[in-house]
Amino acid sequence: MKADRWLSNGNATFTADDHAPDGVLAISKGPVDVKGLTFRDGTIEFDMYMPDHGILGIRLRVQNRDSAEALFFRPQKDCNASPDCMQYMPLEHGAYEWDLFPEYQSSAPIRTLSWNHFRIVVMGRTMRIYVNRSSKPTLSVDHMEGGALSGGLTFGGPAKYANLVITPAKPSSAAAQTVPERKDGFLRHWKISTASVLASVHDPKLDAPMGVQPPYALMPPDGKAWKAITAETKGLVNFSHEVGSAKDGSVISLAWAKTTLVSNKAQSKKVQIGWVREIWVYVNGTLVFSDRNIEGLPAAKAADGRISLENGTFLLPLEKGKNEIAIALDDNLPGNTQHYGWGMELKLKDSTGISLETEKLGGQ
């Protein structure tokens, strides 16, 4: 914990106290990097003097300021009873995707205005976080979704850090295991378009700019504007990862996703849908569902504007034969200087008699 082992921009001081005679790193604000470190798998242990407010954390497997795996803390009066005290999320294209991974947030036995001990164990795509020497992990991440398996290590403030020990895991000769694709009703195979700027109009009830419904006829034609993607582990179509977001928080980005379902007869299927922020769903060119899930506004759904299959349900009207499902999504977040995560997940409650053009869905 000496200055020559760290890269800072004048936002850090190095001292010693009774808790850590080998040195204390005090960060006033923003990131400080461990110099010359590439971390892949292993254990990261440290003590943190936790403030009583704000949002701060560490980043690991850092590629640059816009790409890393992130562990965030939201210190508050009683973290042990606060479901969002600690959370894992990817940082991609400069956007923290806290709203796309609510399953990876947790309460934690953290004491504010006091020292706390953390042990982070990383192996492949898994991460376990132990707080204050608990024998059981406070937070378990079964599949980190960031783009890299190794990178730098960055600490954030305002906070103090001490007694940092990094222990690399021993190299393993075991072959990497491929996660089998889940057959659970989620639509996982899509084509996704590049992003464009969506016009907005002021909504007097919300007192905020809302995206203008994009006409189906203006969906980009087949070609270079589209790429084939597979949804992430839990069925998430992650627009943040695939498309990115505008750096200016006042700019609304729009992108499309589409897939084709084949039905053995004319029928309607109930679907659950989770999304952030504004969404329009077309079936064979006809609008069948639209809604908003915008954090900080009355337009937010359950889970405080986070993505959840409880965000919405509707009937998917299918003709016999091929049916095109086209979804327009935007990242509108009024009043913010930056964008966070945006994405969607769509699940058939019953996929009997339904298939993709190329393969069967779960439940058959």
Nearby residues of 280 by Cβ (< 8 Å), 6 or more positions away: 213, 214, 287, 289, 290, 327, 328, 329
pLDDT score for 182: 56
One domain, residues 118 and 240: no
One domain, residues 194 and 140: no
Return the higher-pLDDT residue of 172 and 195.
195
Does the residue 344 lie in any domain?
A: yes
Question: Whole-number mean pLDDT of the chain?
Answer: 92
One domain, residues 308 and 278: yes
Give whole-number Cα distances, 27 to 48, 88, 231, in Å.
Answer: 11, 21, 38
CATH of the domain at 350: 2.60.120
Lookup: tokens for 191: 């084509």
- Buried b / exposed e over 90-116, threshold 16 CB at 10 Å, is bbbbebbbbbbbbebbbbbebbbeebb
Query: At 239, which helix (H) or strand (E)?
Result: helix 239-242
Domains identified in the chain, total number:
2
In three-state secondary structure terms, 350 is: coil
Query: At 23, which helix (H) or strand (E)?
Result: strand 20-34
Does the residue 228 lie in any domain?
A: yes
pLDDT in tens, 340-363: 999 999 999 999 999 987 544 443
Does the residue 178 lie in any domain?
A: no
Does the residue 176 lie in any domain?
A: no
Nearby residues of 37 by Cβ (< 8 Å), 6 or more positions away: 152, 153, 166
Domain residues for 302?
A: 189-356
pLDDT in tens, 47-104: 999 999 899 999 999 999 999 999 999 999 899 999 999 999 999 999 999 999 999 9
pLDDT in tens, 200-248: 999 999 999 999 999 999 999 999 999 999 999 889 999 999 999 898 9
Q: Of the candidates 168, 203, 238, which is a domain's last residue? A: 168
Does the residue 364 lie in any domain?
A: no
One domain, residues 197 and 127: no
Q: Is the peptide bond before 298 cis (omega within 30 degrees of 0)?
A: no
One domain, residues 210 and 270: yes
Nearest to 16 by CA among 167, 165, 160, 166: 160
Q: Of the candidates 121, 136, 168, which is a domain's last residue? A: 168
One domain, residues 257 and 317: yes
Section 181-189 average pLDDT: 80
Does the residue 181 lie in any domain?
A: no
One domain, residues 144 and 254: no
pLDDT score for 22: 86
Does the residue 182 lie in any domain?
A: no
Kindly report the length of the chain: 364
One domain, residues 203 and 348: yes
Does the residue 90 lie in any domain?
A: yes
Evaluate whether 159 touches 12 at the Cβ level (below 8 Å): no
One domain, residues 212 and 146: no
CATH of the domain at 97: 2.60.120.560
What are residue 166's phi and psi, to 5 degrees?
-115, 120
One domain, residues 303 and 207: yes
pLDDT score for 71: 97
One domain, residues 123 and 91: yes
pLDDT score for 25: 95
One domain, residues 58 and 124: yes
Give whole-number Cα distances, 279 to 88, 185, 219, in Å.
Answer: 25, 20, 14
